[in-house]
Structures are given as C-alpha cells and as structure tokens.
C-alpha cells in the first residue's frame, strides 16, 4: 500500500493536470520507502499505477537509479479541434465561423462628402457602407435607400451624416450563429466586435446562405452519390448471393440494395464476378479507389466531425456526383 503522501501527490496531479518530475530513487522512496526495484516492489507499484490510471515516463523499471522520470496521468481521448486537440472544444457554431467576421469593413467617415460614399459603393459593388470614424464603433450605415430617401426629402446637404441610418446592430463574435439569424433578418446587416473590440463584417443574409449551403452541400452530394451507386447495382446481383459476397457478420436480412451499407456496395463492386455482371465502362481500379475516398469523406461527414469538410474533399464529392450523373445521362 502506498504512503498517504504518495496518494496525495497522485490526487494533486489529477486535480491540476500538472505532472511531477523526480528521480527514480525518490519515486521508489516516496511510494513506500522502497529502495530497490525488486519484483515485489515493481508489482505493487504497477498495480497501483494501473488502478489509478497513472504512468511513469520513461519507465522507472529501467535506467540509472538517479535518472529523472515524470509521474503523470495516462493520456485521455479528446475531441480533435481543428489542427489541435489542446484547445477548448465549443459545441456551438458561433458568428466567428463566418468568413465575413474576419474582414475589416470598408467604411466612410461621418463628415465625408456624399460623393465619397457613392464612389466606394459603386467601386466595390456594395449596397451599403458602415459610417465609422474609428475601427471600434459603427455610427450608422448609409445605403442607396437612405440616400434616395434624403433626395426625396430634398435635403440641403451633401454630407454622409445627413443620409445615414441606425437600422443595424453590432453583435459579439461569440454570439451563437442561430441567435444572430433573427438580427440579420431584422436589419439585413449586422456588424461584429472581435476579441479586441474591433469592428468586423458586415454579415448579411447572403453570408448566412453561403454558410448553410457549405454545411448542407456535403450531405446532399453524398446522398446523390449513394443513390447513383444503388442504381448501378439495381437489378444486377441475385439476392441470395449478396450475403456470400459481402460476408455478413451480423444477422441482418438483406432483401434489397437499400438494406446495404456504403462499404457493402464497395465489396460487391470489388468482387470480380459481380464487376463483370455490372458491365461498367469504367477502369475498375480507379473507380473503386475513388469510391473508397468518398467512403472516408462520408464517414467524417456522417459522424459530425467538428472540422468542416475541406475544399478538396468537397470538390471530390462534386466531381464524383457529376461524373455519375453524366454516366446515367448518356447510358
């Protein structure tokens, strides 16, 4: 049984997440006044370490007695967050996921000439501009509608401040995306304050549309690809041969192509006899290799991987779907 002091040390490591370094000699002594790495001492130490989910790096059983080792918790499985698994994982999609929230807005100053606003909107094909005198505050917005209203009212002014509107809002970058939708719909445009309190944006309904299309498109493309594969297999393979080809390990009853998984579609097409029956005008090796790639993408998408699908993977889905679509159009 380890000493109370050693148990307290282990509990402190678990509480703080900070490992402890010491010599092998001190480690043995701290555990239970052990002086040697006898088989009995090693067994007792290892049994305790396993029970407490602790580890020693490098292994204390080898090496010089005064070598420095590190007592730490065993590594725990974590969610991979982007390129790092050390960052805190956020399960909520926030405004910061939008590309528009990383852009510094093109703006016009409050006391600028109206011609300046005309030029900026026309040159950049904008329908509106934020009115800003510094990078941390939006004083208003000016757009074709507010300008038209000013002209209709026959305003005797050619200064931006006399044509701007307060029909906008500013949200924190950590605002949940779905909460921000109602403000985008209400105002037509919102601006974002980043972690340094600087204004970013604008975010419009168009930005939201692009974001949701980006999230939904992989699911739609995968469904199309799977449906095309089903059409390729439809009415080709004898039902009673299916379990033999795909080597079912469970007790599922397959009565149609729709009862099978994507991986099972692949196993059918990999089978030489089935490939001959399908009579496809494709290079088998290339076609199967591509479908294996699609399967890997599918697994990531369908398991709601925290990372968005890469542009390369999305392009692969688009090309495969279009390829199969063209095949059935000329078939």
Q: What is the DSSP string of 80-112?
A: -BTTBSSSPP--S-BGGGSGGGGSPPP-B-TTS
pLDDT of residue 307: 61
pLDDT at 82: 54
Tens-level pLDDT at each residue, the chain (331 residues): 799 999 999 999 999 989 999 999 999 999 999 889 999 999 999 999 999 999 999 999 988 999 999 999 998 877 665 544 455 767 788 888 888 888 999 999 999 999 999 999 999 999 899 999 999 999 999 999 999 999 999 999 999 999 999 999 999 999 998 899 999 999 989 999 999 999 999 998 888 888 888 888 999 999 999 999 999 999 998 888 887 788 766 667 888 888 889 999 999 999 999 999 999 999 999 999 999 999 999 988 887 655 678 889 999 999 999 999 999 998 7
Pick from 318, 330, 306, 310: nearest CA to 80: 306
pLDDT score, position 248: 64
Global pTM value:
0.61
pLDDT for position 304: 64
pLDDT of 215 reads 83
Domain residue extents for the chain: 4-73, 95-204, 209-330
309 DSSP 8-state letter: P
311-330 vs 205-233: helix crossing angle, rounded to 10: 50
What is the CATH T-level fold of the domain 95-204, as seen in this structure?
CBS-domain (3.10.580)
- Whole-number Cα distances in Å, 233 to 245, 252, 276: 13, 19, 12
In which element (H, E) is residue 131 found?
strand 128-131
Looking at residue 87, its pLDDT comes to: 58
pLDDT at residue 81 in the model = 58
Largest CA distance in the chain: 98
Alpha-carbon distance of 95 to 251, in angstroms, equals: 46
Q: What is the pLDDT of residue 142?
A: 96
CA-wise closest residue to 32 among 5, 54, 53, 50: 5
**For residue 27, how many other CB atoms are within 10 A of its CB?**
21
């Amino acid at each position: 049984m380890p000493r109370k002091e050693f148990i307290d040390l282990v509990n402190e490591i678990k509480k703080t997440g900070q490992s402890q370094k010491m010599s092998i000699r001190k480690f043995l002594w701290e555990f239970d006044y052990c002086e040697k790495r006898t088989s009995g001492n090693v067994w007792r130490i290892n049994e305790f370490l396993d029970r407490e989910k602790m580890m020693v790096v490098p292994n204390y059983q080898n090496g010089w007695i005064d070598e420095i080792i590190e007592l730490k918790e065993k590594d725990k499985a974590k969610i991979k967050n982007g390129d790092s698994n050390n960052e805190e994982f956020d399960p909520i999609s926030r405004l910061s996921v939008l590309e528009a929230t990383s852009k510094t807005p093109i703006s016009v100053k409050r006391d600028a000439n109206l011609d300046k606003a005309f030029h900026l909107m026309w040159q950049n094909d904008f329908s509106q501009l934020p009115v800003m005198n510094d990078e941390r505050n939006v004083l208003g917005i000016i757009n074709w509608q507010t300008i038209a209203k000013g002209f209709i009212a026959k305003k005797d002014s050619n200064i931006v401040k006399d044509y701007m509107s307060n029909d906008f809002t500013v949200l924190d970058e950590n605002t949940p995306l779905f909460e921000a939708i109602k403000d985008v719909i209400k105002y037509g445009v919102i601006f974002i304050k980043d972690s340094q309190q600087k204004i970013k944006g604008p975010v419009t309904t168009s930005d939201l549309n692009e974001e949701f299309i980006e999230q939904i498109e992989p699911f739609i493309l995968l469904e199309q690809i799977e449906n095309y594969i089903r059409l390729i297999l439809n009415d080709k393979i004898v039902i009673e041969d299916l379990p033999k080809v795909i080597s079912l390990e469970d007790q599922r009853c397959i009565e149609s192509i729709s009862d099978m998984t994507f991986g099972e579609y692949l196993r059918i097409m990999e089978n030489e006899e089935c490939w001959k029956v399908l009579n496809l005008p494709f290079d088998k090796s290339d076609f199967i290799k591509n479908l294996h790639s699609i399967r890997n993408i599918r697994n990531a998408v369908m398991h709601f991987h925290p990372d968005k699908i890469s542009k390369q993977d999305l392009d692969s889905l688009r090309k495969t779907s279009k390829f199969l679509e063209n095949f059935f159009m000329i078939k």
